[in-house]
C-alpha cells in the first residue's frame, strides 16, 4: 500500500470537510476593529420571528445600534448575500434589516404556496416587521428601502402607513412594469440585431412581449440571460447569472447549506407568483401619486429590468413634502451594489438631513 497516497487522500478529505463547513457555517460575521475586537455598539444577527403566523428570517447588521433603522425590501429574491462581493456601507449609517420575505430565502417553507403570497399579505408583513423593529430598538419611526419588486410593496406601505416611516427610498422603482417589459424587449431585439446574435433574436421573437400580453413563460425563461449579456440586468458589469449571482450565493458563509438550497427553491417556485401578476396589471401612475413623507429614488442609467425612464416619469407625477431622483451613471439595476460611495454620500448629506441638494436637476 502506498502510504503517501493514503496520507494525501486523508489530508485532502480533511481539507474538503473544513472548507465545506467553513462555507456553510451559517454564522453571521461580527463587526470588529483593526485589532479583531468586537465593536461595542455593533449588531450582527440572524433572527427568526413569527410574522402574521409564519416564521420569517432576517439579518440585522449595523456598526452602531443607536443609528436609525433601515428595513430593506428585496425584489424577486433576497440579495443580502451579494454584500459579500459588493459591500454597500449602509451599516455605517443605519442598523440595516435585510428581511427575507414570506416564502423567500431563509423564510422559505415548502408548505407556503406561491398563490398565497399576495400584495395585501406582504404589506401586512412589512408593517408587522416595522412594528417589531420600532419596539425592539425603541424608535418612533424607521427608514424603508425597497429594491425592484420590493419597491412595489414599499410604495404601497408608505402610502398607507406614512406615520411609521422617516422616509422612503426606492431603488429601481417600479411604476408600470408591463410597459417596462415591453421597452426592455424592444431594446434587446434592437441590440441583438446590432451585434448579430441571431440565436438570441430568434428566442426573443418566439416569446413576444406586448402591452396586451403579460410576459409569457417562454420569455421569462430567457429574460435574465438576455439582460445580463447586454449589461442591463442586475449589475451593469455582470454578464452571467451563474457567475454573478448563483456562485456568490453558494460561497456566502452566513447561509447554511440548506438555506442556500432553499434560496433557489424559493426562486424557482415563487418567481412567477400572484404578486408578479399584480405588478404587471398595475400602473402606479393611476394609483399612488401622493406620499406624505420624503421619498428618494435611486436608478441606474443602464437599467432595463425596471425602466429608468418610466421610474423618472413616475417620480415627476408624485407629490411629497421632499423628493429627490438620483441617476447612477455607471449602474444598471442595483446602484447600491454598483456605486456604493455615491449612495453613501446621498444618504449622509441628503436623506438623513431631510434634503435633496444632490438630486438630479438641483
Residue 25: inside a domain, yes or no? Answer: no
Using alpha carbons only, give the angle 262, 125, 154 rounded to the nearest 5 degrees: 95
Closest CA to 60 of 136, 172, 166, 122: 136
Q: At what angle do helices 177-195 and 217-229 cross, to 10 degrees?
A: 60
pLDDT value of residue 17: 44
Residue 149: inside a domain, yes or no? Answer: yes
Residue 36: inside a domain, yes or no? Answer: yes
Cβ atoms within 10 Å of 242's Cβ, excluding its own: 9
| Number of domains present in the structure of the chain | 1
Closest CA to 56 of 44, 68, 69, 73: 73
- Containing domain of residue 183, as a range? 31-362
Judge contact between 330 and 338, C-beta under 8 A. yes
Residue 197: inside a domain, yes or no? Answer: yes
pLDDT value of residue 16: 43
Residue 304: inside a domain, yes or no? Answer: yes
Q: Any idea which residue has 411604476 for its cell?
A: 175
Q: State CA 304 to chain mean position distance.
A: 15
Q: Take residue 51 and report the three cell numbers written for it.
A: 410574522
pLDDT value of residue 335: 97
Residue 125, domain CATH: 3.40.50.1820
Residue 342: inside a domain, yes or no? Answer: yes
Residue 14: inside a domain, yes or no? Answer: no
- Per-residue pLDDT of the chain in tens (362 residues, 90 and over written 9): 555 554 455 455 544 444 444 566 788 999 998 888 999 999 999 999 999 999 999 999 999 999 999 999 999 899 999 999 999 999 999 999 999 999 999 999 988 888 889 999 999 999 999 999 999 999 999 999 999 999 999 999 999 999 999 999 999 999 999 999 999 999 999 999 999 999 999 999 988 887 766 666 778 888 889 999 999 999 999 888 888 999 999 999 999 999 999 999 888 775 457 788 899 999 999 999 999 999 999 999 999 999 999 999 999 999 999 999 999 999 999 999 999 999 999 999 999 999 999 999 87
pTM for the full predicted model: 0.92
pLDDT value of residue 212: 67
Residue 196: inside a domain, yes or no? Answer: yes
pLDDT value of residue 356: 96
Element (H, E) at 158: helix 149-160
Judge contact between 218 and 207, C-beta under 8 A. yes
Amino acid at each position: 500500500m502506498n502510504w503517501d497516497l493514503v496520507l494525501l487522500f486523508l489530508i485532502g478529505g480533511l481539507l474538503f470537510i473544513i472548507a465545506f463547513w467553513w462555507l456553510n457555517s451559517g454564522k453571521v460575521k461580527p463587526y470588529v476593529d483593526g485589532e479583531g475586537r468586537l465593536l461595542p455598539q455593533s449588531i450582527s444577527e440572524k433572527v427568526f420571528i413569527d410574522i402574521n403566523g409564519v416564521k420569517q428570517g432576517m439579518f440585522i447588521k449595523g456598526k452602531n445600534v443607536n443609528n436609525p433603522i433601515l428595513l430593506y425590501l428585496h425584489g424577486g429574491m433576497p440579495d443580502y448575500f451579494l454584500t459579500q462581493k459588493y459591500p454597500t456601507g449602509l451599516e455605517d449609517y443605519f442598523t440595516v434589516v435585510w428581511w427575507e420575505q414570506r416564502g423567500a430565502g431563509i423564510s422559505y417553507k415548502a408548505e407556503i404556496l406561491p398563490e398565497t403570497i399576495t400584495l395585501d399579505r406582504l404589506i401586512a408583513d412589512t408593517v408587522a416587521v416595522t412594528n417589531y423593529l420600532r419596539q425592539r430598538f425603541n424608535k418612533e419611526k424607521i427608514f424603508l428601502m425597497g429594491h425592484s419588486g420590493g419597491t412595489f410593496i414599499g410604495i404601497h406601505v408608505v402610502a398607507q402607513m406614512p406615520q411609521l416611516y422617516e422616509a422612503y427610498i426606492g431603488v429601481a422603482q417600479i411604476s408600470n412594469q408591463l410597459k417596462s417589459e415591453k421597452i426592455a424587449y424592444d431594446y434587446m431585439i434592437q441590440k441583438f440585431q446590432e451585434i448579430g446574435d441571431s440565436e438570441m433574436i430568434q428566442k426573443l421573437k418566439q416569446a413576444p412581449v406586448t402591452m396586451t400580453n403579460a410576459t409569457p413563460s417562454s420569455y421569462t425563461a430567457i429574460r435574465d440571460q438576455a439582460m445580463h449579456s447586454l449589461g442591463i440586468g442586475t449589475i451593469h458589469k455582470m454578464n452571467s447569472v451563474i457567475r454573478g449571482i448563483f456562485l456568490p450565493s453558494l460561497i456566502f458563509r452566513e447561509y447554511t447549506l440548506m438555506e442556500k438550497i432553499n434560496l433557489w427553491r424559493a426562486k424557482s417556485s415563487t418567481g412567477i407568483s400572484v404578486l408578479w401578476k399584480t405588478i404587471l396589471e398595475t400602473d402606479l401612475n393611476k394609483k399612488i401619486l401622493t406620499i406624505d413623507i420624503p421619498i428618494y429614488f435611486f436608478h441606474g442609467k443602464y437599467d432595463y429590468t425596471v425602466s429608468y425612464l418610466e421610474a423618472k416619469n413616475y417620480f415627476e407625477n408624485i407629490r411629497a413634502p421632499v423628493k429627490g431622483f438620483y441617476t447612477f451613471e455607471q449602474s444598471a439595476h442595483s446602484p447600491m451594489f454598483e456605486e456604493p460611495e455615491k449612495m453613501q454620500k446621498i444618504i449622509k448629506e441628503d436623506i438623513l438631513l431631510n434634503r435633496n441638494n444632490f438630486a438630479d436637476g438641483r
